[in-house]
Structure 1
Amino acid sequence: MKILDETSRTLNEFLLLPGLTTEECTPDNVDLTTPVVRHRVGEQSPVRIATPLVSAIMQAVSSPRLAVALAEVGGLSFVHQNQPIGAQVEDVRAVKRHKAGFRTSEINVKPSTTLGEVAQLLGDVDQGVAVVTDDGSAEGRFLGIIGPDDFHLHRHGSGEVVTARMRAYDELTTAPATISLSDANEMIWANRLDVLPVLDGDRLVSLVLKRDYQAHKTFHNASVDSRKRFRVGAGINSRDYADRVPALVEAGADVLCLDSSDGYSVYQKKAIEFVRDRYGEKVFVGAGNVVDARAFRYLAEAGADFVKVGIGGGSICITRDQKGIGRGQASALIDVVRERDAYAAETGMYVPVCCDGGLLADYHMAIALACGADFIMLGRYFARFDEAPSRKVRVEGQFFKEYWGEGSRRAQNAARYGHTGEISFEEGVDGFVPYAGSLADNVGLTRTKLKATMVSCGATTLRDFHENAVLVQVSERSYEQNTAEVRLRKRSVDAGE
């Protein structure tokens, strides 16, 4: 037995001291870009993201829809692996079919589809138009489009078929698959279009919508590959990697990540070695989770492209209660980051660190980045949004989203936790999180907060922030000082601001 001479600290136990804010240190000058995978010191990482946030490898979080939305704002999503290989592959392909500014059609209908059915479909997604093909599939022969402005149910009848009201192929202005986004937008404005179908022969490749024009300007930091397709990650495990990895690579996954509650294992090393032996350095694979320097060094030397830090700190995780295993997230990060920097100095290779768990508020993200995390993986945070795959439900007059851990019986992710067959005991719970609206709005607010914090600390890059941040532990008395009761004004009662 060995007892460490330390107190296990959480991110909530630290505050940042302000640094000198210079004239150059403004929110507009703050760059949140960060490396995702290993690279030589002094060189750029092959995969970088403009927003240092990635979504957790969870059923309740990382759907293709969320992956697209997160890539638009500069982050990266990891499609969960607790599903058949074919289903995960299709999720990855669904994301890779999207190019920045080009939408893959979500609504495809047959000529015989009724206006009533189309109206219902249009109400369920954000696309704005339905695509009519000969067989009703995305791969079918393109016949035309129909949107809410093309019909009125009371006037035309819900039983009328779409061919009576659709805009037919030969009446539309279309573009070839080789068109650039700037040229597509030019065509939209020049021809006063609301939508521009992009075709390859008589097959629809994508849609460019006029109402997305401002989003193209807003989301100029989108996470895209060399072909302007959205980047997407994918979770893998240490059991069926020999089959799952090749399928995900073929589907176009940009980054893989071993998904386990305990990454300090020979099984993860073997999985990483499989990737290296088969693909060399061309395929990127992260590993984890770990909580100390020994485990980081083990995975880095095995060839991991990044390492995830955190055991038992997630809001939905009860590993500490069930097994007594874990470490305060701040203590874990400080130890691992110190080893990351030592490894970089010794080998010339920088292996990014991902903070996974222990983040209950936006300012905890700032503390984690100040501690040296390169990027942050979040579950509960993303589960609250429209784009998360779970249901929105109403409980006692308030809206919530369903949220469950991968260690819960609902998830039945036995492989992640080393159980044989079905889960024998739970390491995660099943519950609800308050509904928060759209991903873009919330991530935009989080980015604003992070930039404001960095400005106050005198930093304009995450590297500056880590190297120059000054942290101080918070006493119990400090907490008490910040918890004086104040009756908050309700705007509906008194809006005299």
Structure 2
Amino acid sequence: MKILPEISRTLSEYLLIPGLTTEDCTPDRVDLGAPLVRHRLGEEPGVRVATPLVSAIMQAVSSPTLAVALARAGGLSFIHQNQRIEDQAADVRAVKGHDHPASGTDDRASVDGEGRLRVGAGINSRDFKDRVPALVEAGADVLCLDSSDGYSVHQARTLEFARETYGEDVPVGAGNVVDGRAFRYLADAGAAFVKVGIGGGAICTTRAQKGIGRGQASALLDVVEARDAYAQETGVYVPLCCDGGLLNDSHMAMALAMGADFIMLGRYFARLDESPSRKLLIDGQWYKEYWGEGSLRAQNEARYGQRGRMVFEEGVDGYVPYAGGLDDNVERTRAKIASTMISCGSTNLRDFHRDAVLVPVSAESFKQTGAEVQLRLPALTSAE
């Protein structure tokens, strides 16, 4: 038994210290582009995104409709794998079949070399020998192993299969992890990127059920250090995806400042028109259904080796407030992240990683993070 000499910290427990905002720090000059897959230092990655947001590998989130909208907004979706192989492949084909129209404006859409929208797909460490070929044939640009805990020989074997079968042509991300040991294990196994975060998702109950996990800030800081050391030792940069622990847009900026290359979001996208779940009116307010892949509703029996009911769940089934369309929400989030970077004196994510200065906040300081003033209108009086 070993106890780490630290407190597990969340993204809420840090603030950014402003840097010098120069004349170059203007919204039109901020570049949010990020690498999505591993590459040698100094070389261009095979897949990049102009908007560092990807959708979670979840039934309630990543439909073909959302994948098309997010790719057009510069991000990328991962079609969920909790379905028959042929159905997931059909979803991938549906996205690739939307040829992106030419635009005379600044176009940040995620497209492949043939001008088709990019799309990712989730896989698992059980039926990968059948699922991976089907998804590659369907045109998936990048794959990602889906597991609450990715530090396993099962993920290494899946990565080995993809590497031996397709070489570098089929990038496969892996995870999730919360420390440098697990990152290095998956990086050595050939992971295209590594997802960071266990138990911090809005719909996840892994920590309560199994007692494993780590505060998202602590996990990121540890894994970022390992990622940078790995790059210096090997000359290979393995991007990091922050997955979970993101309650608002400022947390996204904080995660990027700490060294994440891009962010995976479930609840954020589940709220939108383009997500596949139902929209319901409850007590005068609109909601969208949302459930975790570890929940009973997700019917995720194979992950737990059960043919009947699950022994226990690692996610819940609920609702999130409806938030409108994807374009407006993503554009607003981009503007907030860009504004934070400008305040810190950065115009691209590489500089943001290098120059960001963070400070832990005390419990008393945390209380002053949000406005608590209740505004009241004065009582109206008659004109008499």
For the criterion TM > 0.5, the same-fold answer is yes
- Separation of aligned partners in 2, 1:482 and 1:280: 48
Match of 1:226 among 113, 135, 160: 113
Which residue is equivalent to 1:352?
239
Which residue is equivalent to 2:80?
80
Cα contact 1:9–1:331 (8 A) shared by 2:
yes
The one-letter code matched in structure 2 to 1:243 is: D
The one-letter code matched in structure 2 to 1:454 is: M
Kindly provide the CA deviation profile for residues 194-253 of structure 1, in whole angstroms up to 9, marking residues without a partner as x. xxxxxxxxxxxxxxxxxxxxxx45671000001110000000000000000000000000
Match of 1:420 among 306, 311, 318: 306
Cα contact 1:237–1:415 (8 A) shared by 2:
no
- Runs of 4+ aligned structure 1 residues displaced above 6 Å come to none
Given the superposition, is the C-alpha separation of residues 469 and 400 from structure 1 closer, same or farther in structure 2, using an over 3 Å criterion? same
Match of 2:274 among 387, 401, 424: 387
The one-letter code matched in structure 2 to 1:21 is: T
The one-letter code matched in structure 2 to 1:333 is: L
Cα distance, 1:489 vs. partner? 5.7
Kindly provide the CA deviation profile for residues 14-36 of structure 1, in whole angstroms up to 9, marking residues without a partner as x. 11000000101111100000000
Cα distance, 1:44 vs. partner? 1.1
- Separation of aligned partners in 1, 2:172 and 2:376: 50
Cα contact 2:123–2:131 (8 A) shared by 1:
yes
Which residue is equivalent to 2:38?
38
Kindly provide the CA deviation profile for residues 256-292 of structure 1, in whole angstroms up to 9, marking residues without a partner as x. 0000111000000000000011111111100000000
The one-letter code matched in structure 2 to 1:237 is: N
Cα contact 2:76–2:110 (8 A) shared by 1:
yes
Alignment of 1:311-460 (within 5 A): 311-416=198-303, 418-421=304-307, 422-460=309-347
Which residue is equivalent to 1:8?
8
Secondary structure at the aligned position of 2:319 is classed as strand
TM-score (normalizing by structure 2) = 0.96
For structure 1, list consecutive stretches of 5 or more residues without a partner in the other structure: 102-180, 182-215
Alignment of 1:69-468 (within 5 A): 69-101=69-101, 181=102, 216=103, 220-416=107-303, 418-421=304-307, 422-468=309-355
Which residue is equivalent to 1:22?
22
Kindly provide the CA deviation profile for residues 19-68 of structure 1, in whole angstroms up to 9, marking residues without a partner as x. 00010111110000000000000111110000000000000000000000
Cα contact 2:13–2:366 (8 A) shared by 1:
no
Question: Whose radius of gyration is greater, 1 or 2?
Answer: 1
Kindly provide the CA deviation profile for residues 409-449 of structure 1, in whole angstroms up to 9, marking residues without a partner as x. 00011344x44334211110000000000000000000000
Q: Name the % identity.
A: 72
The one-letter code matched in structure 1 to 2:23 is: E
Which residue is equivalent to 2:52?
52
The one-letter code matched in structure 1 to 2:214 is: R
Cα distance, 1:485 vs. partner? 3.4
- Separation of aligned partners in 1, 2:375 and 2:145: 45
- Separation of aligned partners in 1, 2:83 and 2:316: 19
For structure 2, list consecutive stretches of 5 or more residues without a partner in the other structure: none
The one-letter code matched in structure 1 to 2:314 is: E
Kindly provide the CA deviation profile for residues 288-340 of structure 1, in whole angstroms up to 9, marking residues without a partner as x. 00000000000000000000000000000000000000000000000000000
Cα distance, 1:488 vs. partner? 2.9
RMSD of aligned residue pairs (Cα, Å): 1.3
Report how many residues are paired: 377
The one-letter code matched in structure 1 to 2:301 is: A
Cα contact 1:73–1:219 (8 A) shared by 2:
no
- Separation of aligned partners in 1, 2:3 and 2:173: 30
Which residue is equivalent to 1:68?
68
Cα contact 2:205–2:314 (8 A) shared by 1:
yes
Given the superposition, is the C-alpha separation of residues 384 and 353 from structure 1 closer, same or farther in structure 2, using an over 3 Å criterion? same
Which residue is equivalent to 1:195?
none
Q: Which moved more, 1:217-226 or 1:29-38?
A: 217-226
- Separation of aligned partners in 1, 2:296 and 2:214: 24
Cα distance, 1:99 vs. partner? 1.3
- Separation of aligned partners in 2, 1:483 and 1:252: 45
